[in-house]
Amino acid sequence: MATTGFITLLTETMPAGVLPEMSRDLSVSESAAGQSVTVFAIGAILAAIPLTKATIGWPRRHLLLVAIAGFAIANTVTALSESFALTLAARFLGGIVGGLLWALLAGYAVRMVSPRQRGKALAIAMAGAIVALSVGVPAAALLAKLVEWRYAFGILIVLTLALIVWVIAAVPNFPGQPKGSRLPLTLTFRIPGVAPVLLVTLTFVLAHSILYTYIAPFLMPLGMAGQVDAVLLTFGLVSLVSIWIAGALVHRHLRLLMILACVLFATCTLLLGIFSGVPTLVYASAALWGLAFGGTSTLLQTAVAEAAGDAGDVAQALLTTGWNVGIAGGGVIGGLVLSGLDASWLSWVALALLVPALATVLTARKHGFTKGELGSR
């Protein structure tokens, strides 16, 4: 499950690491090449909910294998394509299967363990995504400089094919839900606790995406343009620590951990807004950011799984959609901020989004972000 998450997020974000080489090879601007990430997010947004509902009765391992095979096809076309239009089409396909996989992954992981181990199972399954951010994208960037960007996608194809064999050999199968047990989308949304978790997901990821997408222009006026990789590596490595903490404590302290995540991230944006001219504090802020963000996927997916109960797969699809809307929206809002104001405003906009996120967590103590022990359903 962790390897599946790694391949999913690395497929989505890899163009960010190979953007100059990719744009030159496809004869388009870097701005245009960057839309390959946007197209992936759009595919995930459009596909997560309807595909999850349409395939909810499928055996889970069959569905998992179909989705992983979709990545193999999408990345093969991307690696071989000489046409930018064909590349975008392949990326859109990747987004479609990515949206399906994110909705499937969490529910699959928790069904493989006892209720008391749900938090740890989610933390392990989601760890691959953070490894992709902290190690995978920088490695792809280095490979693009040393050899060629297409080889980075080629390695990803080999990993995907190996994963298919691994899933067949090691992952247990589970039945889908019977047709009569499926909750309509609107009823799932109305389950107590689901809506607050989705709101926190949207605002938190939106704040993150605004900073992550535009970290380079944010650092440039500070004289740190050459340290983007180091700042992101700081963020990524501390994120791994955050994943471990979330996995160890989510079962008993979900509410407290989510409050701390919001507070730490807000502190990071405040430091960046006030002391952005001090490189040491920029790195300290990146560490706080990683500590806040790394385990958030585990916390949010655990929260929505606990709130939704038997409607977990549909609720995970809603969460996946909200997450990708946050990613896509961060690119749009951050771009608007940069076009009308200077880059320092990015941190203040992110802080403004974290205020309602924190308020929602604090008020959703009965449903959504509960104080009691998880796994009691």
- Summarize pLDDT for 312-351 with one digit per residue, the tens: 667 877 887 888 888 878 877 887 887 788 888 899 999 9
CB 286 within 8 A of CB 367: no
**Per-residue pLDDT tens over the stretch 236-246:** 889 888 888 88
Four-way CATH pick for 1-180: 3.30.200.20, 3.40.50.1010, 1.20.1250.20, 1.10.620.20:
1.20.1250.20
Rounded CA gap, 161 and 49, in Å? 26
Hey, where are the domains in the chain?
1-180, 183-369
- Quick check: pTM over 0.85? no
Contact (CB, 8 A) for 369 and 255:
yes
pLDDT at position 143, please? 75
Residues in the chain: 377
pLDDT band at 376 (very low <50, low <70, confident <90, very high): very low
Rounded alpha-carbon distances, angstroms, from residue 188 to 17, 24, 307, 314: 37, 46, 10, 7
Cα 150 to Cα 80: distance, rounded to the nearest angstrom: 7
DSSP string, 128-184: HHHHIIIIIHHHHHHHHHHS-HHHHHHHHHHHHHHHHHHHHHHPPP-----GGGPPP
| Nearest residue to 306 (alpha-carbon basis) of 250, 248, 246 | 250
Nearest-5° Cα angle at 4, 313 to 149: 135
Range with the poorest average pLDDT among 184-188, 228-232, 266-270: 184-188
Query: DSSP label at 214?
Result: T
Question: How far apart, in whole angstroms, are the C-alpha atoms of residue 46 and residue 211?
Answer: 24
Name the fold adopted by 183-369: Growth Hormone; Chain: A; (1.20.1250)
**What H or E segment, with its residue span, contains residue 316?**
helix 312-340
Mean confidence (pLDDT) of the chain: 84
Helix/strand/coil percentages in the chain, nearest 5:
85, 0, 15
- Residue for token digits 């076309």? 77
pLDDT of residue 239: 86
Cβ–Cβ contacts within 10 Å for residue 7, how many? 25
